[in-house]
Amino acid sequence: MEKKKTNKKFIIIFAVLTLLCGTYGTYKYLHSLSHEHTDDAQIEKNMNPIIPKISGYVRKVYIKDNDYVKKGDTLFTIDTRDYQLKIEDANAALAAAEGSYEVAKADIGSAMASVSVSDANVQSAGGNIESAKIRLNQVTNDYNRYNNLYKNHTITKQQYEQALTAKQEAENQVRILQQQQKASSYQKTAIIAKSNVSNKQTQVAAANIQRAKAQLETAKLNLSYTVITAAIDGQVSKIDIQPGQLVQPGQSLFYIINNITAWVIANFKETQLNKMTVGQHVTLKVDAYPDFDFEGTLTSFSPATGSKFSLLPPDNATGNFVKTIQRLPVKISLNPSNDVEKIKLLRPGMNVDVDVHLN
């Protein structure tokens, strides 16, 4: 029997394919010794949320979807009428507080003047009492002499009675002046107490002025918040507000994306992290721009795996356990040598192929 002819073309093709597969396998093996790769990576950029600080109805929107804005540009405004009324109310409260302060100061001035008058009255009464006591001492001495003379029948009864009357009048005068001095002292004490009250009222009025000023500044600040401006240069996202819409403080309305600063978050398997360290060089290929490579540097590792930050983190102590390889987010910064215009084209969420150079 004749031997079947061997197909030389098949042998050649098979040999070439074997050689190519072996070469490719060898290359991938050698490459894996000095590289770690993942395609589970995305572009990240700073996304500045636009959040109003006050509530109100949107008056006018100055931007459209995907517009580019500069820092300080007006994005939209809120109706100002309510906040202007609050400023007028705060101004009125400040004026009333200042008026109360002036009245309290006037009361203090009047009270201090009254204290001075009362003090003068007390001093004058004290001087009058001393004079009255001197006269009393004199007429008392005269009465004693006339009394002895009357007992000896040296003077008439009329002269005796005149001396007695003078003595009684002097005693009455001393008592009256002492009562007047006591009344002046009481009046002075009452005026001082009133002055202290007026002083407290002045302090309260001054505090009310400070509070009214703070309320006025708050009203002015809230009025300034009716104009919402861009905090950074960038590109706005989809605008979900319309004139007449009610917005609330803390409500996230849309975003401004910073197009200049970008980085990559790559989720490597835990089995790939053995030789990876901060500072290693990284080659990045963005799916949207396959003809251009970006250069980066491994910056940091996440403190926990991605599953631990999920809404419902796994609890391996419950139910049946199935071991699953976890992924750890790794931050990769783009090097300054990259083309800035190319970085501006990158959008957060774009897929990236990441190749970390281990050596």
Q: In terms of residue numbers, what domain contains 194?
A: 81-221
* Residue 119, pLDDT score: 60
Is 24 a member of any domain? Answer: no
Residue pLDDT, tens place only, 192-229: 666 666 667 777 778 888 888 899 999 999 999 999 99
- pLDDT band with cut points at 50, 70 and 90 for residue 349: very high
Average pLDDT over residues 33-39: 86
Q: What is the CATH number of the domain that holds 112?
A: 1.10.287
Is 86 a member of any domain? Answer: yes
DSSP 224-260: HTTEEE-SSSEEE------TT-EE-TT---EEEEEEE
Percentage of the residues of the chain whose pLDDT score is greater than 90: 43
* Residue 207, pLDDT score: 83
* Residue 295, pLDDT score: 94
If asked whether residues 230 and 210 sit together in one domain, one would say: no
Whether the pLDDT of residue 242 is over 70: the answer is: yes
Closest CA relative to residue 171, chosen from 137, 146, 145: 137
If asked whether residues 211 and 86 sit together in one domain, one would say: yes
Q: What is the CATH number of the domain that holds 243?
A: 2.40.50.100
CB contact at 8 A, 111 and 233: no
Whether the pLDDT of residue 10 is over 70: the answer is: yes
pTM over 0.85: no
If asked whether residues 230 and 217 sit together in one domain, one would say: no
Domain count of the fold of the chain: 3
Is 277 a member of any domain? Answer: yes
If asked whether residues 102 and 212 sit together in one domain, one would say: yes
If asked whether residues 215 and 341 sit together in one domain, one would say: no
Whether the pLDDT of residue 306 is over 80: the answer is: yes
Residue 174 half-sphere exposure, CB side, CA atoms within 13 Å? 15
If asked whether residues 107 and 210 sit together in one domain, one would say: yes
Residue pLDDT, tens place only, 67-122: 999 999 999 999 999 999 999 999 998 888 888 777 777 666 555 555 555 565 55
Is 29 a member of any domain? Answer: no
